[in-house]
Chains A and B, each alone.
Chain A
Amino acid sequence: MSDAVRMRGVAVHAGGERLLGPLDLDVAEGEHLLLVGPSGSGKTTLLRAIAGLAPTSAGTVELFGEPAGPPEKRGIGFLFQGGALWPHMSVAGTLRFTLRSSGVGAGDVPARIAELLEQVELTGFDARMPATLSGGEKQRLALARALAVRPRLLLLDEPLGPLDAELRAALLERLGALHRELGCTTIHVTHDPEEASRIATRTLHLRGGRLANGESKA
């Protein structure tokens, strides 16, 4: 089985400043990798480099044994920090837009929306606008959007960040269940080492844009 992610000598620079790397990273298919590091350590930049959103200044990125193509062709679901929900689209509108943009036929969209809403426990929220959702509901909608493209690789950027303890526990449980159900490779970024250690299969530490020694396996 090939690696889901294989990065060699990848570096990201912006404005003459090194944000990431050079680093090597392998993530096996089906793995739930926890990437931990303090603020500014390059966690989000690493996810953005994998997704093709941050241009790399050096190195290569392979996904599932193939050189990575343009962002929309990488089969990646991305849960952005803070949700990044589209403020002018309802819950159903957000998912409909994502599904249609990723090539799902119009006839299949309603069923897929229902399925996604059920997966993230938002059934009945179809007509709600993002501004009317609670913090936990927003994160679950953002997760549904990430799952809508049927990702082979799911990138989670501080998915529990804005939530209180109770909601964090509930969403973490949902993420664990989804990982088991869907089996997609997941890279989960957090600044809190305790956050997802119980559902992760491996933990890596990032400091100053480089992977630190002391990789730990769950």
Chain B
Amino acid sequence: MSRPLVALALAALVVTGLAPLAVMLLRIEGADLAGIFDARTASLLGRTLLLGIGTAAMALLVGLPFGFLVARTDVPGAGVLRALGVAPLFFPPLILAMTWCVLLPAFRGAPAAIFVLGLSTFPLVAVFSARAFERVDAAQEEAALLCGGLRAVLRMELPLALPAALCGTCLAFAFAVNDFGVPDYVSSVGVKFNVYADEIKFNWSQIRRPGKPVATALPLIVLTLGALVPALALRRRGALATLGHGFRQPGTLKLGAWRWPAFAFAAAVVLLAAGVPVLRLLWEAANMPAHVRDADASPGAKLALGWSTLREAFGLAFEKARADLRRSLLYAAAAAAACAPLGLVLGHAIERARSRAAGRALELACLLPLAAPAILFGIGIITLWNHDATARFYDSGWMAVVLLAGRFAVFPILICAGAAASFDRALEDAATLSGARPARRLGAIVAPALRGSLVAGFVLVFVFAMRDLDSAILVPAMNKTAIFRVFNGVHFGRDSYVAALSLVLLFAVVTPGLLWTLFARKRLEVLP
């Protein structure tokens, strides 16, 4: 572990991720705390808890069986379903909310928010579960198979995979309770479903007292940490455990008569979470609802009209939002590029810290920017940087990069920490004995071995930066991005242009992961 490198990385983490939170905490005054225990706050907390628990339950109930089926069984098209099943995590939740609220206009309030966020976060549970089910030793599985068939296999493996699934569930909960865009959108018509994130934004934009939104957010931070700390503990307790020597990959389990029903379940999940939103957006981008209503036109003419509208809508989207899209791509790529080395240094430091307590403390510190509500993080950025002396920086694109890097650096850090835990320490010791200094060991021995994890960290930061709305909504530098334009578009009149822009944004979000999957030999290693 290179001390200068770790110190440098820590300094970067403090400036980008921790200082915005610290500066907000310092603004709390006694009067701000008065309101956090009143009935209104309790009611908001109750609604937010309902959203978090509902989303987490849906993510677990869908993600666990989905992960098992696509990773371990002979369900038809398992590989394709597995790849497509990750897609909803890459989609901005706002876009999912948009499509489902149009398809089911009466579906609003808490059930709609839980449904949309459940669809958006189930891949977290599915990916973690799939990896856990793949890591059951073949001989252990065969021992269960011999004594009771597939049922015994499931009963034996479920407790082994459950910690990983719960780890994903905790993350789903944390994402849900901090989401602002989806509850706000599904409440824009009909039943109002206010949650904590709404309240924080309201307190900031209406009252303009910096301490008030922070004080309001404190219970939510506790709630989020209450979900994220167990997730870390589960990771450490072997939820994503390294494999022992002599591990043999388990074979494909045969479902027999359940093969096609299982396929129907997995395909329905992918269709609901990814297929329907994309198809609906295409339908809207082609303005098909209007063309279909045209009684005089033949089906062929309607399709031709739709195709023509689709091309126009995409043309308009590129013309009007080209600069915003370019800015989104630049900011996201720059933030991801900055976070990757941070992930390597701090992730390695977490695993190789001299004392366990120091490693844990560092891990928790890295987690804080994500544990704080996104909207509060954005307010912290404003409070920290919106001064005369830093005005030029605050208004520039660099501000956006710092915001996104500070918020999402935790992904590559935890991914690299997991990978470093699986990395044979003897390889580093051998380099030490040959005289390599810590920084050289990190660069020449550890980094090449963790390449797949570093790229996975880059892709995750890029994806979340591209789809981030909540932390960006109040920061001027982030107000000229593609997702912000979509947000404005859906609130001020939806048309084929907004749908086309959403599709362009979706394509831009999935592109790096898609390119890596298509052309790189090494797979993305999000989990060790």
Contacts and interface: CB of A to CB of B under 8 A. Distances in A.
A80 B143 contact: yes
Contact of B143 (A86, A87, A103): A86
A7 interface: no
A53 interface: yes
A113 B349 CA distance: 47
Contacts of B159: 88
A109 to B, nearest CB: 13
Chain B interface: which size bin? Answer: 10 to 19
Interface string A31-53: 00000000000000000100101
A78 B146 contact: yes
Given A51-B146, A53-B145, A71-B146, A84 B140 contact: yes
A133 to B, nearest CB: 15
Contact of A78 (B137, B142, B149, B155): B142
A2 interface: no
A34 B147 CA distance: 24
Interface stretch (A60-68, A94-102, A168-176, A191-199): A94-102
Contacts of A100: 148
Interface string B121-161: 00000000000000001011011111111011001100110
B143 A78 contact: yes
Interface residues of A, number: 28
B contact face: mostly helix, strand, loop, or mixed: helix
Contact of A84 (B139, B147, B155): B139
Nearest to B145: A71
B140 A85 contact: yes
- Residue among B139, B155, B246 with the most chain A CB within 10 A? B139
- Residue among B137, B142, B149 with the most chain A CB within 10 A? B142
Nearest to A74: B146
Interface in A89-117: 89, 97-98, 100-103
Contact of A101 (B140, B147, B246): B147
A101 B160 contact: no
A30 interface: no
B342 to A, nearest CB: 34
B139 A101 contact: no
Contact of B140 (A76, A86, A148): A86
Contacts of A102: 147-148
B146 A97 contact: no
Given A82-B246, A88-B160, A98 B147 contact: yes
Contact of B149 (A71, A77, A81, A89): A71
A82 B19 CA distance: 52
Contacts of A51: 142, 146
Contacts of B147: 72, 97-98, 101-102, 145, 148-149
A101 B146 CA distance: 9
Given A88-B160, A149-B147, A101 B152 contact: yes
A145 B139 CA distance: 13
A157 to B, nearest CB: 9
Nearest to A155: B146
B142 A101 contact: no
B505 to A, nearest CB: 42
A72 B246 contact: no
A217 B265 CA distance: 56
Contacts of B137: 84
Interface string B8-43: 000000000000000000000000000000000000
Contacts of A84: 137, 139-140, 142-143
A70 interface: yes
Contacts of B151: 101
- Residue among B137, B140, B147, B152 with the most chain A CB within 10 A? B147
A48 B140 CA distance: 13
Contacts of B148: 72, 98, 100-103
B143 A145 contact: yes
Contacts of A70: 149
Interface string B395-435: 00000000000000000000000000000000000000000
Contacts of A78: 142-143, 146
Nearest to B246: A82
A88 to B, nearest CB: 5
A86 B146 CA distance: 14
Nearest to B163: A88
A78 B143 CA distance: 7
A78 B137 CA distance: 15
A53 B150 CA distance: 13
A5 B457 CA distance: 53
Contacts of B139: 80-82, 84
Contacts of B149: 70-72
Interface string A104-144: 00000000000000000000000000000000000000000
A135 B143 CA distance: 18
Nearest to A88: B159
Given A82-B139, A82-B246, A86-B140, A149 B155 contact: no
A78 B145 CA distance: 11
A78 B142 CA distance: 9
A148 B148 CA distance: 12
B373 to A, nearest CB: 36
A80 B246 contact: no
Contact of B145 (A72, A77, A82, A86): A72
A21 B144 CA distance: 27
Contacts of B155: 97, 101
Nearest to B162: A88
B143 A101 contact: no
Nearest to A77: B146
A87 B145 CA distance: 16
B298 to A, nearest CB: 54
A74 to B, nearest CB: 8
Contact of B144 (A48, A87, A101, A103): A101
Contacts of A103: 148
A103 B148 CA distance: 8
B62 to A, nearest CB: 24
Given A71-B145, A72-B146, A86-B160, 8 more contacts: A51-B146, A71-B146, A72-B148, A76-B146, A78-B146, A84-B140, A101-B147, A103-B148
7 contacts: A48-B142, A51-B142, A72-B145, A81-B139, A88-B159, A88-B160, A97-B155
7 nearest A-B pairs in the assembled complex, by CB-CB distance: A101-B148, A84-B139, A101-B152, A72-B149, A80-B139, A101-B147, A98-B147
